[in-house]
Amino acid sequence: MPSDQGAQTGIILTTALATFVTGWLFGVFTTRGYLISPGLAEERRRFHRDPVESDESDVDEDDTLLDHAPNWANGVQADRRQGLRVGAGAAAAAPGIVDNGEECKLVLVVRTDLGMTKGKIAAQCSHATLACFKALSRAAPDSPQRKVLSRWEKLGQAKIAVQVKGQDEMLELRRRARALGLTAEVIQDAGRTQIEAGSMTVLGVGPAPKSLVDQVTGHLKLL
């Protein structure tokens, strides 16, 4: 009887050890790409070669804010002096926005002619989102703009990324948006990583009712 129990214990320990070793080897081989398809392996290699945009810091070595994003701490006037914004936000005078209960969205218009990487595009879209949010948040608390912003926040903060092929097209879209009373913010890059300093990278339109935003960006292709 004791010998049977010893044999069972040995079998259990051997099985546990074999399972551990097998799982460890499987994890190592999967991590190194030996057990995935060639296409997925190539995509992972491209991802690792892609410059990591998150390595950029919002604070430079001398503790000054980088100029690839609006300087919220110093206000709108400081942003304009430093060239961080292209024109003023439209939230203060937006006769076209009416709080009619319609679903709202923010559209991010990205230039594809600059050759930005996925990480760079993500960073620039983040800047544009924050710029539009801040512009609308400056409106009076009981204004239609603030009500639209509040509804957008509560209902999932819908964001759509679309593409344009050049600066002229982007500026024309901004002109149309502001003519309709929509918030429209253009982000300029500092040129510290991939593209020329001062390049206009992303236009944010909204948040605003879908029907209004679609009059400006509804014809554009998704990014």
Q: What is the mean pLDDT of the chain?
A: 77
Greater pLDDT, 68 or 24:
24
171 within some domain: yes
Q: Which domain holds residue 34?
A: 7-43
Please classify residue 148 by burial: count the beta carbons closer than 10 Å to its beta carbon, then call 0-12 exposed, 13-18 middle and 19+ buried.
buried
189 within some domain: yes
Q: Is residue 215 very low, low, confident or very high in pLDDT (cuts 50, 70, 90)?
A: very high
Q: What pLDDT, on a 0 to 100 scale, did the predictor assign at position 99?
A: 73
Q: What pLDDT, on a 0 to 100 scale, did the predictor assign at position 93?
A: 40
> Is the distance from CB of 118 to CB of 49 less than 8 angstroms?
no
When divided into structural domains, the chain yields a total of 2
Residue in 75, 77, 73, 55 with CA at minimum distance from that of residue 65: 73
Please classify residue 11 by burial: count the beta carbons closer than 10 Å to its beta carbon, then call 0-12 exposed, 13-18 middle and 19+ buried.
exposed
147 and 216 in a single domain? The answer is yes
74 within some domain: no
Which tens digit of pLDDT belongs to each residue from 76-117? Answer: 554 544 444 444 443 334 456 777 788 999 999 999 999 999
Which tens digit of pLDDT belongs to each residue from 77-88? Answer: 545 444 444 444
30 and 136 in a single domain? The answer is no
12 and 117 in a single domain? The answer is no
116 and 190 in a single domain? The answer is yes
Q: What pLDDT, on a 0 to 100 scale, did the predictor assign at position 149?
A: 94
CATH number of the CATH domain containing 138: 3.40.1490.10
Please give the model's pTM, rounded to 2 decimal places.
0.60
First to last CA, the chain: 71
13 within some domain: yes
Q: What is the mean pLDDT of residues 21-36?
A: 67
57 within some domain: no
pLDDT at residue 166 tops 50:
yes
Q: What pLDDT, on a 0 to 100 scale, did the predictor assign at position 1?
A: 54
131 and 210 in a single domain? The answer is yes
pLDDT at residue 63 tops 50:
no
How far apart CA 189 and CA 61 sit, in angstroms, is 18
11 and 121 in a single domain? The answer is no
Q: Is residue 148 very low, low, confident or very high in pLDDT (cuts 50, 70, 90)?
A: very high
